[in-house]
Structure 1
Amino acid sequence: MTLTGPKKKDPQKRTIVPTLPPATRSRAGLGLSVAAAQGRFALQHCAECGAVQYPPRDACHACLSHDLCWKDTQPYGKVLAETRVQASPDPYFRERLPWRMGSVRLTAGPVVLAHLVDVRRGEDVQVELRLDRAGQGVMIARPKERSDDMEDDPVLRAMGTHPKHRRILISDATHPVARPLIDALFAAGAAHVFAGVPEMWRRPHGVSALEGLENVSLLPLDVTDPQSLKDAASEIGGKVDILINTARHIRPGGVLGQDTTAARDEMEVNALGLMRLAQAFGPGMAARTADGVNSAAAFVTVLSAHALSPDPAFGAFNASQAAARSIAQTLRAEFAPSGLRVACVYTGPTEDEWHQSLPPPKVAPKTLARSIVDGLQKGLEDIYCGDVARDLAERWRSDPGLLEREITGGGA
């Protein structure tokens, strides 16, 4: 069933108050949410006997060992049984009935409970971990071959952040990723793109290429200017379904040799600018997360992968990125009651004038744009773009202290 565009909204009708699915999880169960946020299918594996665990637990069901670790697992299985839930005491599910559920035996061994999308009993399926609207990991069983309209399924639409039929604000149209990102968003079915332009009177480089594009609106927006943000929010705040923060100020140099004026500018744009954007647009978006087909869905910010562990060659910039990451994590908690998803896109060095001295590999604007849109389509919270970002993230998860030594010692 193809998802149709939203009907014209009646301004006299009350906006539906957002509701969330049950969010209580054990500490072990939160591991599913961590994997889902990164787009991985991971389950607990026993280090003693190798048994795969589901549901998550504190001791192995086979040998009672407490040595359980999360590992990527084969995501395939077969549907054993299915049912259609017709009644529920939970407000979230009651608004969305009927809801299809089923049990799936994974090739890895366990039988899991999953939401069913375009599959029936006895069919071979691929199982994904997705974040629901409460930000918790749940199982989705879908066909092995992905169809063009699969994301239109009411289950996936209810918990996802797909750009289709949604209106997107890109905070800084002067970023090299702006044009390829606009193209990728429209290819994914976006309805309209608002592109912010700081100091529009100066006709910044690259903006002329966006003028005249169909369904693209340019507007003055400077993340360092509270009045600019207030004016923009008053004009389009009630229309923004997805906000993508591309505003960035970067200067090379470590801490000892860099002028604090440049460092202050980096903090103003990269960290405090993100905070100002959230303050201006966040409350309106959080109030519209249940607003039908084009409900508000995601608040996205683009960060350097060195927000995880800094590169001394860009010391002050990386400090601003770490601060922005901390702000994004706080926003994730503050937006949680509304179901508005906060996503961080971590990228390696990009192809621009500020990274000329660095060797390949570098991230091209089209590659970054594809990663952002792909992450939105899958409903991810943590998106890693490029080989450098993925490698840094893997080493950081393994041992942050060792990664710091490798970078500061020249081993990165």
Structure 2
Amino acid sequence: MTMPLMRPKRKNPILRTRQMNLPPGSRGRVALGMTAAAAEGRFELQTCKDCGTVQYPPREACHKCLSPRLHWREQTGEGELISTTTLHHSNDLFFRERLPWRLGLVHLDTGPTLMVHLHGEVGDAPARVRVGARLDRAGQAVLIGFPNEGSAHMADDKMLREMTSDPKYRKALVTDGKTPVGQALVRALVKAGADIVWVGHAEPWKKLGGMDDITALPQVTLVPLDLTNGRSVSELAGEIGGKVDIVINNAEVHRTFGIGARRGTDVAKAEMDINYFGLLRLAQEFGPALKGRSADGVTSATAWVNLLSIYALANFPPHGTFSASKAAAYSLAQCLRAEMRPAGIRVVNVFPGPIDDEWNQHMPPPKVTPGALANAIVKALREGLEDVYPGDVAQEWLERWRDNPKVLERELAAGG
């Protein structure tokens, strides 16, 4: 049974903050297929289209029939633990700092035998286990053996916490608390055990619905934050940047129409100023602070969440300029992910379908409720995901986009 994580003691400000050492991060192009699946929470292995063999490790051809016709297929992960070992020495700096480290051999029911990291609740061999894929601090897929039945505190396992960004006992910044999504995020983070939740408010003198409810929570502190104002972002970063463990950028401007339905560029500029340049300002000020604290104990800086839109993948003409601003933000978020990865900070991009708010009131259901979106974000943090697509519409669009982006473009231009 995993011992519940205890609230960590306050850090001694005199002690030097540790620097991050990442686990080995080199992977071949073929092996990155497993990483791509793990980034979305799936455990996939190569399966031969000709003979049906499931194989591991990934290869260019089937090891049984030599066919190059391989595709990635999701696995249940059910298997038998056949042996275990515990490392007490390692030349790798990442593992050396975290010894002892337990490993095991698992024979999957589908055929392959895998070397996996073992969750602390997995007993000695032989035993039935479930293998899952997670992203490590280097952003690469690793395999973990879980018990078939775990305790209520499984997420507090020391090894598993290295692979995730669980908000428990961490400090988070939500950049916009005036929206229903922002307020739902605050409540979800508090429920998940966040120690402090700073809530940004561009106009703190305004009394908006729901703000009194969230500010009444003892974990919540309202802070002035205007993403269109570089000085506002800089001042807040100077005040709390060295304390924030998770940044959730949910601030956005969303207006309908495309190019020809309105005159001028004022609305498009407003969308870009928040959706793209706001992210840029935030990343420039808070990014270095997060990177500097990525190895700061069990409650280290760990994640950056961007609320994007499924419209970032393919432009939806009725929301054309908003789609363009989110596409720009998506590209910037990919750059941010590349810059954060050497420090072990996970950048989580969230691509919801239409949210049930005032700017999507004419959209037919299904729509994503603010509460469901907030829960999906917290779940992504707990499971260490990189890309999340909440809602039925987002899942459908993603499938169509992966099948043929050009066909999806034509379908959206014709009305969906």
Q: TM-score range by the shorter chain?
A: over 0.9
One-letter code of the match for 2:348? Answer: A
Q: SS state of the match for residue 161, structure 2?
A: helix
Picking from 110, 135, 139, the partner of 1:135 is 139
Match of 1:226 in 2: 230
1:204, distance to aligned residue in structure 2 (A): 4.1
Picking from 374, 377, 386, the partner of 2:382 is 377
Are 2:130 and 2:146, in contact at CA under 8 Å, matched by a contact in 1? yes
TM-score normalised by structure 2 residue count: 0.97
One-letter code of the match for 2:100? Answer: P
Match of 2:122 in 1: 119
Match of 2:22 in 1: 20
Are 1:351 and 1:365, in contact at CA under 8 Å, matched by a contact in 2? yes
1:389 equivalent to 2:391? Answer no
Q: SS state of the match for residue 314, structure 1?
A: helix
Distance 1:405 1:178 in 2: 34
1:178, distance to aligned residue in structure 2 (A): 2.1
Unpaired stretches in structure 2, ≥5 consecutive residues: none
Distance 1:293 1:234 in 2: 23
Unpaired stretches in structure 1, ≥5 consecutive residues: none
Q: SS state of the match for residue 24, structure 2?
A: coil
1:227, distance to aligned residue in structure 2 (A): 0.5
Report the aligned-residue RMSD.
1.1
Are 2:60 and 2:68, in contact at CA under 8 Å, matched by a contact in 1? yes
1:177, distance to aligned residue in structure 2 (A): 1.5
Match of 2:319 in 1: 314
Are 1:5 and 1:293, in contact at CA under 8 Å, matched by a contact in 2? no
1:405, distance to aligned residue in structure 2 (A): 1.9
Are 2:139 and 2:344, in contact at CA under 8 Å, matched by a contact in 1? yes
1:211, distance to aligned residue in structure 2 (A): 2.5
User: Identity rate of aligned residues, in percent?
Assistant: 49
Match of 1:398 in 2: 403
Matches within 5 A, 1:88-237: 88-117=90-119, 118-120=121-123, 121-237=125-241
Match of 1:64 in 2: 66
TM-score normalised by structure 1 residue count: 0.98
Match of 1:79 in 2: 81
Q: SS state of the match for residue 205, structure 2?
A: helix
Match of 1:30 in 2: 32
Which runs of 4 or more aligned residues in structure 1 lie more than 4 Å from their structure 2 counterparts after TM superposition?
A: none
Distance 2:313 2:152 in 1: 35
One-letter code of the match for 1:134? Answer: A
Are 2:352 and 2:389, in contact at CA under 8 Å, matched by a contact in 1? yes
1:147, distance to aligned residue in structure 2 (A): 2.6
Question: Which range is displaced more, 392-401 or 44-53?
Answer: 392-401
1:295, distance to aligned residue in structure 2 (A): 0.1
Distance 1:233 1:91 in 2: 31
1:45 equivalent to 2:47? Answer yes
Distance 1:283 1:50 in 2: 48
Distance 1:144 1:313 in 2: 47
Are 1:130 and 1:140, in contact at CA under 8 Å, matched by a contact in 2? yes
Match of 1:346 in 2: 351
Match of 2:278 in 1: 273
